[in-house]
Amino acid sequence: MLPRTLGPAEIYEMRQEYQDVEYEKFRTNLNELRKKLESQQSSAASDDAALQRYMGSNPVNMNPTGGMRYPRWDLSDAQRLLKEDIAAERHLAMQPRELRMTRLEYRRFPKDVFRKHIHQEVRSLTETPYWLVKKMKIQEKKDKKKAKKLREAEIARLESTNRA
């Protein structure tokens, strides 16, 4: 954002594109933009302060109750370490129970829970690219249909002008 110390006239002279707009309109638009940005920054600051207050009074409970005798997986060191181990392909060299025994962080989770997280992480690495490719193919089809309609409309327009 431009410093408040710069006046509209100084900013107007900064770029050639600005000169395409009448100065009075430029000045009005600049002042309105500055007001809007200040309002949004003030709103963002108050939102951030409210979030910080909320997070301070409501910390994430890494050891929830409710029947679970193990910590939350998300945000745990075990989650981060498992991602590293899978990236290093350690999960391919050993069984889930063997991998679980390699780190204390893993042993805090029951065998079945840890095994499911291994499979979940591997799936996320393989399925995400699949869905991205599929989404791109669908978008390409839509783009081709749109281009075809535009070509047909242009041809129809040219034919109608040739007849006239």
- The per-residue pLDDT for range 22-50, each reduced to its tens digit, is 999 999 999 999 999 999 999 999 999 99
- The per-residue pLDDT for range 52-102, each reduced to its tens digit, is 999 899 887 766 656 678 888 988 899 999 999 999 999 999 999 999 999
pTM score: 0.48
The 10 Å Cβ neighbour count of residue 82 is 25
The 10 Å Cβ neighbour count of residue 73 is 17
Residue with more model confidence, 102 or 126: 102
Q: Where are the domains of the chain?
A: 8-57, 77-163
The percent of residues above 70 in pLDDT, for the chain, comes to: 95
